[in-house]
């Protein structure tokens, strides 16, 4: 919603019925409820993108009750620009709603030159979060993640840095991302001993990428940690975009590192068969893909990207049909499990 003040400037006022629009799930055994769908700012919020479009996407998300916005230090491009643009939008539109928002950022991938701008050292994590808070204009984030495991830095150093970040008031909760089950269990043990609220593991999960089902979800449940799934549409493969091949100007056509032509071609038959199931459910393939992930009790939220408000609204429609028959689940397994 928006209103004009006396000067003609458009001010944002959130939809008063926003908390009736979406469902919320508990993250593990924590006190936090997350919207079933959360908004990721990996793409479409950098300096190469339209700030106004990003603003409209964020407004639409919050108007539908999406309270969780997910960022990282290197989101853009260029690095840091998604956080900086988010900071501008937050200051203009969301500052009065700060206590209703659950804002995340991360550090773990390459961010600045030299030996201290990557992975999981105490120096990198604390410096990175300080930079992120400055870019976003925030006093704290609700959750801070270590973005990926560091094979060289002792896990104790990384976890103690996360603990101290919470004790310094720079984050309320901590999380990890891309950790395997063994690493996750070890991190959970250390954080429990440190009495730090570890509530989320952000993991890649889709019908075409089911690695989390091999012990990770069970590990999270055993440790009272929730899962938030990223890349639920497999970089766009689980949409109607690639049903008839690779269109020009698509991610696959550009042969980006995270989605290449051969990956789409290898999965095209699966995508078409899954689309038939979705049609029988009166859903788009993308809607079914999101609903399918949310069937897992350990999943607190599905993290989606959006290039427009309308695309976001389409994905929210997944929540209209979250139930699957045993036969549907069996058919999906036959298609997607080698």
What confidence score (pLDDT) does residue 140 get?
A: 99
148-163 residue pLDDT tens: 999 999 999 999 999 9
The average pLDDT across 47-62 equals 98
The pLDDT of residue 7 is above 60: no
Multiple choice CATH, 2-243+285-324, 1.10.3720.10, 3.90.550.10, 3.30.930.10, 3.20.20.100: 3.20.20.100
Residues 6+ apart with CB under 8 A from 55: 89, 92, 93
The whole-angstrom separation of Cα 52 and Cα 86 is: 11
219-236 residue pLDDT tens: 999 999 999 999 999 999
The average pLDDT across 289-298 equals 98
The pLDDT of residue 331 is above 60: yes
The average pLDDT across 277-287 equals 98
The whole-angstrom separation of Cα 72 and Cα 145 is: 9
How distant, in Å, are the alpha carbons of 104, 135, 136, 244 from that of 74?
Answer: 13, 12, 13, 34
How distant, in Å, are the alpha carbons of 272, 297, 310, 324 from that of 294?
Answer: 22, 7, 21, 11
What confidence score (pLDDT) does residue 254 get?
A: 66
With a pLDDT cut of 70, the percent of the chain lying above it is 93
CA geometry: angle 65, 70, 73, nearest 5 deg: 155
User: Residue 94's closest CA among 132, 55, 130?
Assistant: 55
241-254 residue pLDDT tens: 888 877 676 665 56
The whole-angstrom separation of Cα 102 and Cα 39 is: 11
What confidence score (pLDDT) does residue 143 get?
A: 99
What confidence score (pLDDT) does residue 262 get?
A: 81
75-97 residue pLDDT tens: 999 999 999 999 999 999 999 99
What confidence score (pLDDT) does residue 37 get?
A: 98
Encoding tokens for residue 273? Answer: 């068969």
* pLDDT bracket for residue 9 (50, 70, 90): very low
Residues 6+ apart with CB under 8 A from 223: 28, 184, 185, 188, 192, 198
What confidence score (pLDDT) does residue 249 get?
A: 67
What angle, rounded to 10 degrees, do the helices at 309-316 and 285-294 form? 50
The pLDDT of residue 5 is above 60: no
């Amino acid at each position: 919603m928006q209103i004009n003040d006396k000067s003609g400037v458009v001010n944002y006022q959130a939809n008063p019925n926003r908390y009736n629009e979406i469902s919320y799930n508990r993250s593990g055994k924590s006190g936090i409820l997350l919207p079933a769908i959360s908004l990721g700012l990996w793409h479409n919020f950098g300096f190469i993108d339209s700030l106004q479009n990003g603003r409209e996407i964020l407004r639409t998300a919050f108007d539908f009750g999406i309270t969780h916005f997910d960022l990282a230090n290197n989101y853009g491009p260029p690095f840091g620009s998604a956080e900086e643009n988010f900071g501008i939008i937050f200051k203009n539109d969301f500052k009065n709603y700060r206590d209703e928002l659950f804002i995340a950022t991360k550090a773990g991938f390459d961010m600045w030159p030299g030996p201290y701008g990557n992975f999981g050292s105490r120096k990198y994590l604390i410096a990175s979060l300080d930079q992120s808070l400055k870019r976003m204009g925030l006093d704290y984030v609700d959750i801070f993640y270590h973005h990926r495991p560091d094979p060289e830095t002792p896990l104790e150093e990384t976890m103690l840095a996360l603990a101290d970040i919470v004790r310094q008031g720079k984050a309320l909760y901590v999380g990890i991302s891309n950790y395997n089950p063994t690493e996750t269990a070890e991190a959970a043990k250390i954080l429990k001993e440190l009495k730090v609220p570890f509530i989320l593991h952000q993991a890649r999960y889709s019908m075409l990428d089911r690695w989390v089902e091999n012990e990770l979800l069970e590990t999270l449940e055993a440790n009272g940690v929730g899962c938030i799934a990223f890349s639920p549409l497999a970089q766009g493969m689980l949409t109607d975009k690639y049903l008839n091949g690779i269109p020009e100007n698509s991610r696959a056509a550009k042969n980006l590192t995270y989605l290449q032509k051969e990956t789409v071609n290898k999965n095209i038959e699966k995508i078409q068969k899954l689309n038939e199931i979705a049609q029988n459910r009166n859903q788009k393939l993308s809607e079914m893909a999101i609903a399918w992930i949310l069937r897992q009790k350990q999943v607190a939220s599905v993290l989606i990207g959006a290039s427009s408000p309308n695309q976001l609204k389409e994905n929210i429609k997944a929540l209209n049909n979250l139930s699957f028959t045993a036969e549907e689940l069996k058919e999906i397994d036959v298609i997607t499990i080698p």
